[in-house]
Amino acid sequence: MLVEMPDRLLIVDDDESLQELCAAAFKLDGYHVEVASSGEGGLKKLDAAPFDLVVTDLFMPGKLDGAGLVRAVKARFPSTEVIVMTAVPTLKTAISTLKDGASDYVIKPFETDHLRVIARRALEQRRLRRELDTERAMRQELATAYKELQKVEELKESFLARISHELRTPLSELLTAVELMEQAAGSTTDPQKLSRYIGLSKQGATRMERTLSDLLAFVELQRRPLVEKGKEVSIAGVCRDVVERLKPLTEPRGIHVELKFPDGLPNVVGDPELLQRAFEHLIHNAAVFNKDKGRITLNARAEAGSIYLDVSDTGEGIPQEEFERIFDSFYQIASYLTRKVGGLGLGLAITRRIVEAHGGHIDVTSKVGEGTTFRVRLPFKADAKPAASAV
């Protein structure tokens, strides 16, 4: 069972016999009572431990009189109740303390029974107020939780909408191309047309494959934070492969890709498939967010046990306030409904996870309208072989 603690009362009065009288009366009601002889002494006690009710004289010698004490208590311990004791000539001052937050006053001389009633009433009010506050806080919490839930629901809906959009678009591309091939099959076939249809269907299928593979990789990486780091990987080799694979994206738009890899760049020890996936996302972004006839530069160097790879483009750039968020999963600066290029907003989240699983780091610098550079740092093994002899 919960043992209820007695209410804590502090009596502040420079008159010791009044202190004693009040203390004795309050003890009859089972309160824990302490006394102080000045405003400063009272504050010291309040600083040391919390009180539920302070009963203070108004006129006391010292720097802090009763009115000052009321203000100090209400400013620092707003939930503590204060009752002021006053003589008739200072009644006006006593009443003005009500404005400062005192809950009641008694006029000296008084019957201690009367003081007990007033104290009980103040404490009861305090209890009610606290219950109300708790209820209000609980309501607030409930409202916040409900809002969060709504947000999750919205996120889920937009996520599903985005995924179906990302799968439907290439699927209809593929289906249209197959239909056209079907029609062509019945007539005299123009080989040029046929190869265009095949190209179209391949493009649709590849895009679908890319979306599904990103989703799978994302789930996989959530589950398996530690990658297999067994193999030596040549970053230059991986990047060359990726650039080759992305030619269907870069060449038709006249995007020039330049690779600047110094000779003898050490190998990184890691998971070649994952590293390839990470660089593919960076180079893919550098291509799709680039302008026509733009430029992509891959620049690598080794320094202090790490390889630094900069992937720079001459694209639309990223505003500084987006630098952190673009690495969040499913985050895209432009809504998927308005943007020109597809994607789920998973690329950079996947890339960051892969790079960090290899003990590395990724960050971004960019200027809107000029271009973007993603810098990847990956530690390499000190005795790793030069790139020419591996992968």
Ligand X SMILES: Nc1ncnc2c1ncn2[C@@H]1O[C@H](COP(=O)(O)OP(=O)(O)O)[C@@H](O)[C@H]1O
Interface ranges with ligand X (CB under 6 A)? 281, 285-286, 289, 313, 315-316, 318, 326, 331-334, 343-349, 372
Helix 112-186 to helix 16-28 angle, to the nearest 10 degrees? 60
Instruction: In whole angstroms, give the CA distance from residue 385 to residue 189.
Output: 54
Query: Which lies closer to ligand X via its Cβ, residue 38 or residue 372?
Result: 372
How far CA 159 is from CA of 201, 210, 349, in Å, comes to: 26, 17, 15
Phi-psi region of 124 (alpha: psi -120 to 50; beta: other; left: phi over 0): alpha
The answer to whether 342 touches 208, Cβ cutoff 8 Å, is no
| From the list Mg ion, ligand X, none, partner contacted by residue 344 (C-beta under 5 to 8 A by kind) | ligand X
Interface with Mg ion (CB under 5 A), residue from 66, 170, 343, 360: 343
Is the preceding peptide bond at 109 cis, omega within 30 degrees of 0? yes
Which of ligand X, Mg ion, none does residue 90 bind to, with CB < 5 to 8 Å depending on kind? none
Which of ligand X, Mg ion, none binds 132 (CB below 5-8 Å, type-dependent)? none
Question: What is the nearest approach in angstroms of ligand X to the Cβ of residue 351?
Answer: 7
d(CA 57, CA 102): 12
Residue 95 Cα distances to 61, 80, 98, 106, 192, angstroms: 20, 18, 5, 10, 98
What part of residues 200-259 is at the interface with Mg ion (CB under 5 A)? none
Alpha helix locations (H) across 81-226?
Answer: 91-99, 112-186, 191-223
How many residues form the binding site for Mg ion (CB under 5 A)?
3
Work out which of 103, 250, 285, 312 binds Mg ion, going by CB under 5 A. Answer: 285
Judged by CB under 5 A, which stretch of 126-134, 151-159, 181-189, 279-287 contacts Mg ion? 279-287
Closest separation between CB of residue 257 and ligand X, Å? 13
241 vs 316, which CB is nearer to ligand X? 316
330 binds, among Mg ion, ligand X, none (CB under 5 to 8 A by kind): none
Q: Which does 286 bind (CB under 5 to 8 A by kind): ligand X, Mg ion, none?
A: ligand X
| Shortest Cβ 166–Mg ion spacing (Å) | 12
Beta-carbon contacts of residue 192 (< 8 Å; ≥ 6 apart): none
